[in-house]
Amino acid sequence: VAHKVAVVVFDGLAPFELGIVIEVFGLPRDDLVVPWWYEVAVCAERIRPLAAVGGFTIVPAHGLSEVAHADTVIVPAWPRSLEPVPPKVVAALRAAHTAGARLVSICSGAFVLAATGLLDGRRAATHWRYASALRGLYPAVRVDEKVLYVDDGDILTSAGSAAGLDPCLHIVRCDHGAEVANHLARRLVIAPHRAGDQAQFIERPVVDAHDQRLRQAMDWALSHIAEPITLTEFAHRAFMSPRTLTRRFGEAVREPPIAWLMRQRVDASLPLLENSDLGIEQIARAVGFSTAAGYRKYFRRHLSRSPTGYRQTYRAPGAAGLRGISIMTG
DNA sequence: TCAGCAAGCCGCCAAT
DNA sequence: ATATTGGCGGCTTGCT
């Protein structure tokens, strides 16, 4: 049984964001060992040629009726952010949500979700360029322009453009586990996982000498993740003083060095929880925590549940019904 | 649960 | 003069 993904597009659609969805969910993935995969339907209010940004047209294959049958509905962009969203689209989204579908927006797609009222009182992400407009139009939505995406369980919203990849991979991770998501990421040739709370802003987008040394030290840390690493040693590997490393790290990663490392350790433990029978104690040690208690603590901080709880979620193979594991509520 | 110790983090400032 | 660095001290956090 395929999991149906309906993508809602409009005249003036954004081909890049649409392409992300197709790439992650819409292609056959014979190399992945999964009980089920996704089936994408590109939907629009009316089936007619739609202009895409960049000077070409796309003809959607489906009308809005597909939205009603979808397990997941994705709105990759909304080209006219300040104009009202077509009532039929709003109705279709509301109906899908009531029927239990997971709603996802990328970039300005958040305007469409907000128009349904379902975002009221919830935290939501969008492209930083649209944040103030979204806030102005829908004051009840708690817009957070600083994060890559927000997983609020049944509704996910995400930042702009390339950041659309992150929630999509996150969904794959929730549905199929970290191992599968990592495989897919490798196929797409992108970083395996960026957490939702990672910042949208990278202060130094240009790869300069600092970034190079930082990256080098991070690579080193990741390949020695099982060993105890102190800030001093970390800094040494980056050819900086601890003080400077902390500073550079804050600018580039928006997170202190050791905090980042702890998160990497939790990430590294996920495949072990899923695919091994190692005890929590052993897994903790395998990814560099000195004690299982510390591991549990960091785990809960980032994933809002215990390692054992996480393992049980993915234990039963094909545990498909699970929707929206909330890793970022509150 | 608590005390005490070690480490990380970050504002501040002096030195380069 | 301005920017970057890195050391100091105080506060917080985690571990025993």
Strand B close residues, chain A 249-268, CB < 7 angstroms: 250, 256-259
- In the numeric block, which tokens belong to residue A187? 């196929």
Burial of A188 (0-12, 13-18, 19+ CB in 10 A): middle
Burial of A234 (0-12, 13-18, 19+ CB in 10 A): buried
CB count within 10 Å of CB A17 equals 27
- Which positions of strand B lie within 7 Å of protein CB atoms? 7-12
Q: A246 beta carbon < 7 A from strand B? A: yes
> What span, in angstroms and rounded, lies between the C-alpha atoms of A317 and A302?
24
pTM listed for this prediction: 0.69
- Residue-by-residue pLDDT tens, chain A, 330 positions: 789 999 999 999 999 999 999 999 998 888 888 889 999 999 999 999 999 999 999 999 999 999 988 999 999 999 887 889 999 999 999 999 999 999 999 999 999 999 999 999 999 999 888 988 999 999 999 998 878 888 888 999 998 777 889 899 989 988 888 888 888 888 887 766 666 666 665 443 444 555 778 888 998 998 899 988 999 999 999 999 999 999 998 888 888 999 999 999 998 898 888 888 888 988 998 999 988 899 999 999 888 888 998 888 766 454 333 333 333 322
- Which positions of strand C lie within 7 Å of protein CB atoms? 5-8, 14-16
Q: A282 beta carbon < 7 A from strand C? A: no
Burial of A141 (0-12, 13-18, 19+ CB in 10 A): buried
